[in-house]
Amino acid sequence: MIVVRSLEVSFGNRHVLRGCDLVVKTGDRIGLVGANGSGKSTFLRCLAGDLDPDHGTITLTGRLSALSQEPVLLGRTVGECAATAIAWHARLLDAYDKALADEDYDESARIQDRLDQVGWEVGHRVAAMLDRLGAPPEDAEVRLLSGGEKRRVALALALLGQPDVLILDEPTNHLDLAAVEWLQGWLSGFRGALLLVTHDRYLLEAACDRIVEIERGKTVAYDGSYADYLLARAERQARLEQAQDRRLRMIAREAEWASRSPAARSTKQKARLDRLDALKSHERIQFNQGFELDLATGGRKSGVVLELIGVKKSYDDRELLRGFDMSLSPGERIGILGANGSGKSTLLKLLTGHVIPDAGEVVKASRTDIALLDQHRTGLEAPDGSDWTVFEAAGGGATHVTVAGKAGATWQRGQGGRAGETIHVAGFLERFLFPRESLDQPVSKLSGGERARLLLARLLLRGAGVLLLDEPTNDLDLLTLRVLEEALLSFDGAVVVVTHDRAFLDRVCTGVVHFGPNGPVRYASRQQVPKFEAAPVTARSKDAAPVLPSKRRSYKEQKEFDALPAQIEQAESDHAQLGETLSDPETYKRPADEVAILTARLAELERDIERLYERWAELEG
């Protein structure tokens, strides 16, 4: 489907891709990994045709759909954008009519098989897809959408495009947990070729059977799942380190000979000296660098540091919190789950004091500092709103910084200095993998992952006893993600984190608060949360508040509503299995009447699924 040869891309003096090769075959399921700034998004932009490489070739066969990190929607409304995504179906119907008109029965039979597989009517899928991904409705105006809403719409369009090759760059960003799990199931059943960049390790493990890493500007392929990749990569790195050690020992021996035997430097020894020069000029292997993040403060170890007592909060007719109680103690790490618009970010704003409750109170222990890492990665701009450089943003305009609390003492011991001694910003940033040549780069030019890494560095300077993290895993590479997890596991304060990253939640959080249909409920783990979340509430405009259902379901309706998720899941499972059967050429060796029955059953299941979703939406509202 795709053949990439010797791809090279540079931005100014920075060489991002240095000769990447890749072959994507029909049915391949490839996870693309690499450190922030390694060139993953650049590579995908080249494949999608959004960026011309400086050198190399890309050959594409078939139809391609792509989700970029900053998608552009072409259309006045969401519905107009969706019409372009399903235009392939109209072309298929036109081709079928033309084949019949031309009496080309072989071609019409081929197209009929395709239409039987994908469905003769796909318009109903648009609303269903938008709903499952929590995207705005079809009549929503594109100009009023937030960045997250645009990404959810763009993801829906990419999936609706029925491509031969599907390219997704961080598709789980701005999705809630239910939508992430639905997307994982959809991708697991996708029969085309898949090229995926994601920080969601569960999704990477479930959806991909081959991992390609961009390392020092080149592609390195590993067969198997993400877990297989971790083991194979560690073994490969060990072999490279051994090879590099042997090369360095050889250089030492050759250098020793050259230095103690000047008389032997005759013409006949020139080959040996040439070999020494070649060894010295050989590029030294740069293994993936890591960094440490110690957020510990050495502060209080017990007692309640932050508490919500009987808190109520509403927006217009939507009641988000109704007499909600929650307490936080050092060592607790609470994950916040729920559909988009259910009140997760509002809860964080109540904890920080940026939002005042309608009733109840928020109590903060004395001398408790609260630090917030917001979803939009703000806090790196100059006080006047101008664009700071990386150096200026790290130090707040100063040239030296002091790491707070217990982490400061640990840092200084590592640096060989005294506890509390100030550190030059350049040295501080180097520990977070910002080389000196990048310090004059404007913050606005950083990638999402680089901004997140810079904000993590700033957190280390705060020494806060309570950390509030809103989607902290978005745009982080897998190495930085593991560093953050380790730092939070050893953190001696309290943490509240809004995230859809299931692996992160399972590893880090000691409990979760789930915003369900009846408000937030606290559970001991993510696994205790009801499997089927309420449908996401979608706002009509960027600033519009979600609407609260005003009518209660009757006992009979509630019973029907509770049973619908299992019915939908069963119908979708039957539909997927039947679709696989009808896509198998062996099926068509059966009698024609059996195939016709299967085709009719597939169409019936599609109608059933649509009906079940409509009824579910009706009862949910």
pLDDT (average), residues 300-317: 87
Q: Reply yes or no on whether the pLDDT at 171 is more than 80.
A: yes
pLDDT: which is higher, 271 or 5:
5
CA dist 3 and 480 (Å) reads 31
Window from 5-14, 313-322, 561-570 with minimum mean pLDDT: 561-570
Chain centroid to CA 489 = 21
Q: Reply yes or no on whether the pLDDT at 243 is more than 60.
A: yes
Q: Residue ranges per domain, the chain?
A: 2-229, 241-281, 555-620
pLDDT (average), residues 14-25: 92
Q: Where are the beta strands (DSSP E) in 61-131?
A: 64-67
The torsion angles phi and psi of 417, rounded to 5 degrees, stand at -110, -170
Q: Reply yes or no on whether the pLDDT at 419 is more than 60.
A: no
Domain 555-620 in the same topology as domain 2-229: no
Looking at residue 178, its pLDDT comes to 85
Measured CA to CA in angstroms, residue 452 lies from 359, 432, 470 at distances of: 34, 11, 11
Looking at residue 277, its pLDDT comes to 64
Banded model confidence at residue 535, pLDDT cuts 50, 70, 90: very low
Give the pTM: 0.72
CA dist 592 and 272 (Å) reads 76
pLDDT (average), residues 580-587: 74
Looking at residue 268, its pLDDT comes to 47
Exposed, middle or buried: residue 446 (CB in 10 Å: 0-12, 13-18, 19+)?
A: buried
Looking at residue 540, its pLDDT comes to 31
Looking at residue 18, its pLDDT comes to 92
pLDDT (average), residues 329-346: 90
Residues of the chain with pLDDT > 90, as a percent, come to 36
Q: Where are the alpha helices (DSSP H) in 537-591?
A: 555-583
Banded model confidence at residue 537, pLDDT cuts 50, 70, 90: very low
Q: Reply yes or no on whether the pLDDT at 468 is more than 50.
A: yes
259-290: pLDDT as tens digits: 665 555 555 456 655 665 665 555 555 555 56
Return the structure tokens found at 341. 């618009």
The torsion angles phi and psi of 68, rounded to 5 degrees, stand at -95, 170
pLDDT: which is higher, 1 or 532:
1
Window from 79-88, 224-233, 579-588 with minimum mean pLDDT: 579-588
97-142: pLDDT as tens digits: 999 999 998 999 999 988 888 888 887 788 889 988 989 999 999 9
Return the structure tokens found at 552. 């209660």
499-529: pLDDT as tens digits: 989 999 999 999 999 988 888 888 888 888 8
Count how many residues are written for the chain.
621
In CATH terms, is domain 555-620 a member of 3.30.230.10? no
Q: What CATH class has 2-229?
A: alpha beta
Which residue, 406, 597, 501, is CA-closest to 181? 501
